[in-house]
């Protein structure tokens, strides 16, 4: 997910997306602990997506 995809959404949509990504991160970490995760780089990507969403939310709150 790129920042350009996120910046056009409103705060409500971003918060829902953030909630989904946090649940996905939780599930990926659980799979990692039980040795079921095949690609550990997925965790890194989800963490970066969460950071991008948080950045977009902060920018929206500062601008409007």
**CATH number, domain at 46?**
1.10.287
> How high is the pLDDT of residue 28?
97
Long-range pairs of 55-60 with CB within 8 A, sequence gap ≥ 24: 55/3, 56/3, 56/6, 56/7, 56/9, 56/14, 57/11, 57/14, 57/15, 57/18, 59/7, 60/10, 60/11, 60/14
Q: Total structural domains in the chain?
A: 1
User: Looking at residue 10, what is its pLDDT?
Assistant: 92
> pLDDT tens per residue, the chain (64 residues)?
888 899 889 999 999 999 999 999 999 999 999 999 999 999 999 999 999 999 999 999 998 7
Identify the domain containing residue 23 by its residue range: 3-63
């Amino acid at each position: 997910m790129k920042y350009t995809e996120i910046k056009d959404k409103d705060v409500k949509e971003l918060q829902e997306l953030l909630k989904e990504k946090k649940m996905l991160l939780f599930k990926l970490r659980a799979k990692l602990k039980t040795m079921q995760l095949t690609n550990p780089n997925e965790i890194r990507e989800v963490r970066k997506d969460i950071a991008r969403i948080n950045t977009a939310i902060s920018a929206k709150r500062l601008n409007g």
